Amino acid sequence: MDLTIAKGGAEPSFSTGLVPIGQAWEVSSGPSSGGRVGRLRVEALAEPSSFSVRLGWGMDGALALAPSSDVLVVVDVITFSTAVSVAVDRGCEVHPSPWDPEAAARMALELGAQLAVQRSRVDAEHPYSLSPATLARAPHGSSIVLPSPNGSAVAAAAGATGVPVLAGCLRNAAAVSRLARR
């Protein structure tokens, strides 16, 4: 299912920071799901401690929310969150890493983990990438360093703050919700 979120017919143009408060956004499930349309409004409450759920956008949003959060859920709808979900379903341990090949390779070496590589570089020595299909073949108990420019980089930075970080997607939404409420 592809989701489109827009305000006044145009896609949101956030690059960093928190989602603007008090604005209504149209949410469409796209043609593959019958094009259902709904509305989402992000509202502000009187003081930060009264929030039960807050939304942020990108690295700045996650780092702004981390100090006052019990848990952060990173939702990268392109690939990262689904890739993590597939790997975890296989019993793998996933280590998020920013999209820096040398740093990710060092991390994999230090952890004794497999390094996921760019899709075009998948081979017998490096069988994993951000593609969920490659991770679906990972043996139970594998340890995998999974770099990406967005979701993994945000998850790694947020995790460095000490706040528990969950990777959420459509296929694990119920499980992430239960775990986040604990």
Question: Do 20 and 61 touch, CB atoms closer than 8 A?
Answer: no
182 vs 168: CA distance, rounded Å: 16
pLDDT score at 49 = 53
The two beta strands, 24-28 and 4-6, are antiparallel
DSSP E strand stretches across 33-142: 37-41, 72-74, 93-97, 114-115
pLDDT score at 161 = 93
Average pLDDT, rounded, for the chain: 78
Phi, psi of 4 (to 5 degrees): -125, 130
Band (pLDDT 50/70/90 cuts) for residue 51 is low
What residues contact residue 75 under an 8 Å CB cut-off, 6+ apart?
81, 151, 167, 168, 169
pLDDT score at 32 = 43
pLDDT score at 47 = 46
pLDDT digits (tens, 9 = 90+) for 90-120: 999 999 999 899 999 999 999 999 999 999 9
